[in-house]
Amino acid sequence: MEIEVPKGQASVPLAAFLTRALPDVPAWALKECLKRRDVKRLGVRLGAEDAVSGGDLLRVYLPKAALKTSAPQLDVVYEDARVLLVNKPQGLSVDADEGGGDTLLLRARRYLAAQGGDGAALSLCHRLDNKTGGLLLLAKDVQALEAAEEAFRLRTIRKTYTCRVVGCPKPREAVLTAYLLKDAERARVRVVERPLPGAQKIVTGYRVIETEGGFSRLSVELITGRTHQIRAHLAFIGCPIVGDDKYGLREVNRSARVRGQQLWATRMELHAGGALSYLDGRAFEVDAPF
């Protein structure tokens, strides 16, 4: 297959680019492809650490077994004339970012266009981190987008996540309040107890579902929606999410042999007015794949 690195993309190692550009390709297949140097640019084979940048045209030779299972998919949970609700996979950005590659919005627009709809009119109502999977709402027209954005702003749409963490938080059910500071240069956040200058208030509710072997499964309600909130907040109380290398414990993640962080948006309960008032009280759920 041929992949063009998006114009304007900063120079990044080939391995990092392919991971973002081909989120549906199994990790073993990418590893084998890079090990065999089965990626060419202008006829020259590239290694995992070779840099690629905007405008580069890459020819990627993947194992045949991977090609059968890696076609881009869109997991549609609910759809009507105004909205599209999908189950986003991990490793796929919702929209174009500095990582480049495929996006959930592009897939959704292609899906809608294939159904005879106006793919270009489709818009994201909210966002999920690249490494977080689960329920994501998109609007098909301006009126639906405005109603959804207002509902998210007023926090009347309830979002519940399922995650697996190290240890077990005490008490087993609580609503946590803290403050979050962004570190744009390092692309991460820091949680503090007191309202320091520039800090945003965060509120996170959780309930322990079960505990087993030094880990716990939690149901988490995102009451405020800040960058990396759940991941950073749970790490702050000493219970980082399993598989999260940014805020978690890498040695635990390696020993647990997990693929991806174990955090999924599993439930969305809609309470919105305007063009989406007909969906008031509807709730949608998906299972976490861990």
Enzyme catalytic residues: 129
Q: Tokens in use for 24?
A: 């549906």
Strands 173-183 and 200-212: antiparallel
Handedness of CA 273, 275, 281, 286 (dihedral sign): negative
Cβ contact 265:159 at 8 Å: yes
Question: What is the 8-class DSSP label of residue 264?
Answer: E
Helix H or strand E segment including 29: helix 27-35
Residues 6+ apart with CB under 8 A from 212: none
Q: Tokens in use for 206?
A: 């959780």
